[in-house]
Structure 1
């Protein structure tokens, strides 16, 4: 497929993308051609269904490489010395795990051999974990790995780690009962810089005090598709005998608080037919576990109102609360959730979830004229009166 002189005259080539050409076994032949090309920084062979051994000479002798993409392949084996490129910053091996499960990635060796590594994606691989330091690593993707071999007391020190993805982990029932997933992950990967943690689609059922303290500094936390119900939440719901305490829980950004106080509260909580709204800044007591309290107050509210604005769209915490409300929508029906649109939002700024919800839930646009605002409040009051099916109100 590649003749020896196929790339003659390209000695100064810095990036080579040969992805999704379905080279299969022959793709590795391309590596032999570029061993002498010391200018090559980016090598992308992703999506080629490679089923072959990759040798030391093919990868390790290209000393200039900074990015290697071998994702979406079926590699038989990697050289024991891999990664072995002194300037390597990005290594993508996701969905390219070997045919033989005994062949995996040794995280200790990886961090030692590639001290400049910034991004590592080893999703679906067998990972050998041991205590080590990865000084430059900022993004680590270990989705769908087996977590049973994480040994208690093992610490991977990653002082600059900002994003950690560990979704849909392969967890044995013995491990699930013996250890807490959140504590295991965060006690293994030690970082004071962690901002983004993705733990979706894992069997996480509760978050206690110790776990909450580990999560307190995050700006983004994805726990979607888990069974997040703490014992205290169930006890509180049972204590209330299933009777909602609030007519609606309100999700909004702090920059829109003037509208919430001056318009929403003035027109909905006051008047001839007052409704009781739940605001996290007013009704959630300080000192409680915030994740448990949010879940509890959303469940105790008949409806959820989301105040959409540019501030809301750009805020991770607003999206986290909306995800929690979305779970109730899935369990019950679309009239649980109400959108209030303070101003038009370009489609390109909306997340996939927001675009999907716009097609399913009631959306009221805040008008500029007085009569329009009168009709707006009439519509909102009527929607708040609409019942939620009693037999499904507190499904968990």
Structure 2
């Protein structure tokens, strides 16, 4: 009876396997039932299948629990299912138990847990969900495991001691290096990362700089001399390794941006002056006797030029039914039948025997005038733009103003191209009227324009 009274008031208990068998056979009740005031329990070399029976379901006053060298691997499910309520537990040591995961300690319900020792197990990762359950930890010891990452450890906001020695860490994440550490009552944060096979390439440079920085004022890095390279400089101290990590990314990026700008500018110039370039290409590739050169032997009489085959080339948008109808009916009947002019009309005279661009270019070169029929559809058509630019190039190269502008439909100002806008500022514009009298005047003016000489003594800005 006296022994039982002493056990009831027991606060410190240290048991090994044989003692556990003795107590179990003697009292046949869990420890925390016959020692309800127990505060410190040290259990070593137990069989895991007796653990639930030994501890019991609750220990109201237990503050320190040490369970080491138990074969917990073979009965992990039993341990997880054996829930133990430890409302006052501050420190839990489950080192050397062959644990595979931190989650295997979930059998312990300890909301006030501050110190956790899981050293020398076989843990390879710290699960995110278990980090939430350990939010009050101040000391974490996990040396001698198989950890390859420590990223989520920064979620433990109150941690002041961290021991991850002898794991499989190859680098330290930037999130950890940038973490603001909470100094302990001693004034510093204790960290031990020794014995890890660090990858001593440029990935380790931030960690090097971090070790050498002023962070040491608040951080005690224990076993610093044991921070060695696992690859490629095996065994060399991380602090002493010399790395050439000069980054040329900025240079390459600058060159790339500069090259991109240059290419963009060149592309923009090619687009803007594509018809100038096309015209120059024709001048270089076509036979000389088909060109209209302005040289010392050039005859100023346009009719003396044997290359002229048409009185006018008609530039219009073939896809517009209204323009097509107006050109073939109104313009053709008035100019060819009434004025005996020979017109080149794409829809009628263009022979698809070769590239369309070549045929249009030669037709414009073989015409005394180029009549451009302006409509909103005209400014949107690439072929119409080519016709206008080719005619403008005749002015640029040969000093011959061959363009006659006919406004068939009003064009919104925002649709006018720069070249057409400049041309409208320098050329007379013949507008097609709706009334009969105005149309008669229009044909007389157009005929007068056809009679004008194309030779000029001035230049346009195109």
Greater radius of gyration (CA): 2
Same fold by TM-score, threshold 0.5 exceeded? no
Structure 1 length as normaliser, TM-score? 0.44
Q: Which has the higher helix share?
A: 2
Higher relative CO (CA 8 A, sep ≥ 6), structure 1 or 2?
Answer: 1
